[in-house]
Amino acid sequence: MNSYRQSLHHIVFCTYKRKNTLPEEHHEELYKFIWGIIKNRKSFLYRINGVGNHIHIFCDLHSSISLGDFIKEIKTAANKWMKESGNFPKFESWAEGYCSITYNDRDKDMIINYIKNQKEHHKKVSFEDELRALLIESGIEFDEKFLFSD
């Protein structure tokens, strides 16, 4: 019998100290680079987007990959590529942590649209308020004093 599974993850990670070091004119090339990593890990990207200080990824994670290793690989490879490209001169590094929330297929379109509209969303809502709301909505307990420490 074949194995069947679905592992939809909404992943969010930010730049070190949430500094705006991701220039908008280079977002597309960064997203394409990350998409390549996701494809190479036999995972499927539904949507990627972000703003100057963080990125949202919505993907179906392949069962052979651990979430922590997957995110570490993306952040490490993107960090190196960004520094070598010269297009992200103010970028220092990614912040240490990340947020990952799992969803089911019924929520897929909602999450895709949410990520698609990041630039509009962040004209009204800060990253800190967005992350806090995502954690509360998902029932994830957190300690405010550790939420935004680097």
**Minimal CA–CA distance to 12: which of 91, 82, 115?**
115
pLDDT at 60: 97
Whole-model pTM: value is 0.93
**Mean pLDDT of all residues in 110-118:** 95
* Average pLDDT of the segment spanning 10-34: 97
* pLDDT of 42 strictly over 70: yes
Q: Which residue type is seen at 145?
A: K
Q: What is the mean pLDDT of residues 126-144?
A: 90
Q: State the average pLDDT over residues 89-102.
A: 95
pLDDT of residue 150: 65
Distance CA 37, CA 32 (A): 9
Q: Cα–Cα distance between 96 and 77 in angstroms, integer? A: 14
Express as a percent the part of the chain with pLDDT over 90. 85
Name the superfamily (CATH) of residues 8-147.
Transposase IS200-like (3.30.70.1290)
Domain ranges of the chain: 8-147
| Average confidence (pLDDT) over 74-97 | 96
